[in-house]
Structure formats: C-alpha cells, structure tokens
Amino acid sequence: MSPEMKRKLGVPLACRQCGSGYLLGTSHWRHASGTRSIAARALFAALALLPLAGCYDTAALLKARQDSHELIQMDEVDLGAYRITLPHTLGEATDNLVDFHVFGQVTRGDRQAIDDALRMRGAELRAKMLVEVRAMDPHTFEEAKLATLRKSIAEVINGTLGRRVVKHVGFFHFSFKTI
C-alpha cells in the first residue's frame, strides 16, 4: 500500500526520528510538539489542582463546628449595670465616667452555676469589677469593639468562679463620658 493510500485511509505511520505514531502529512516537529504540549498541559493542570485536593484542617473544622454548636445552646446572663468614675488625674479639670450594662453568654449547663454565683457572691464580683475597670487606661474605653474591657470582664467573672463559665461578653448599654 502506498503512503498516499495510507494517508487517505487514516492509517498511522511510525516517525523515523522518535518512533511514535502520526498521520501521514505531518512533520516530526508538529506531532512531537503537539504531544508534548498536551502532556505539559495535563501535567500543569494536575500540579495546579494538587494543592486544592484534600486541603483542609480537620481540627479547625471540628472546633468551628463545636463553637457554632455551643453558640446555639448559649444563654445570656445579666451581669449587672455599672457606673464607674475613673481615678482623677492631678492637674486636669475633667473626670471620666464609664457607664455600662453588661451580659455574658454561658452554656445552658453552666446557667445555674453563674446564677448562684451572682446571687451569693455578687458583692465580691462587683468589687473586683470596680478595681479592674478603674485600673484601665481611659483610651481603652475608646476602642471600637471594647475587646480589652470584654476580656477583663470575662476574666474577673471566670477567675472568681475558678473555671471558664462566661464564654463571651456583650453590652446592653455602654457610654464613656468626660465630665
């Protein structure tokens, strides 16, 4: 059978340089580069997708799920209203007043423990809260999210109870005034 007849029938031929099959009428460079580019594209795609395959942190996913589950089962507990005057700075004619009503989020299982502690040790908790707030820098009360104050309130309550009962702290009302 002649090469022209093989081309018409679509019979593959073997390349004299590399031995790979090709259709008659294509050069070695054309069929070899086409094969390489397809292989290179496939390799590049596999390598590009490799970091995405199975790339997740199971511990972080479990913690996020547990945290979301806890938030669903949280109760808000009123931790009291406070009106605290910060210590007077000598040489200044102004005083600073912090006025807030705070609540804590606790799990439903800890609700009874925090209610008992607030009822039996309320005066102690208020005194510790007063000392903690008065020790803070006045610029702390100008923070956008009041993160330092929230953290301090949670530490006072949890420190008094001896375990982490209050998970999150929020405010019903907050104001910081210079008088």
110-168 pLDDT tens trace? 888 889 988 999 999 999 999 999 999 888 998 889 999 999 999 999 998 888 999 99
Lowest mean pLDDT among 2-16, 79-93, 134-148: 2-16
**Is it the case that residue 102 has pLDDT exceeding 70?**
yes
Domain that holds residue 102: 74-178
Q: What is the pTM of this model?
A: 0.59
91 within some domain: yes
64 within some domain: no
Are residue 42 and residue 81 in the same domain, yes or no? no
Distance between CA atoms of residues 129 and 139, nearest Å: 18
The most confident of the ranges 52-56, 60-64, 68-72 is: 60-64
Beta carbons of 166 and 154 less than 8 angstroms apart: yes
Are residue 17 and residue 81 in the same domain, yes or no? no
Output the furthest CA–CA distance in the chain (Å, rounded).
111
Residues in Cβ contact with 7 at an 8 Å cutoff, skipping those fewer than 6 apart: 23, 24, 25
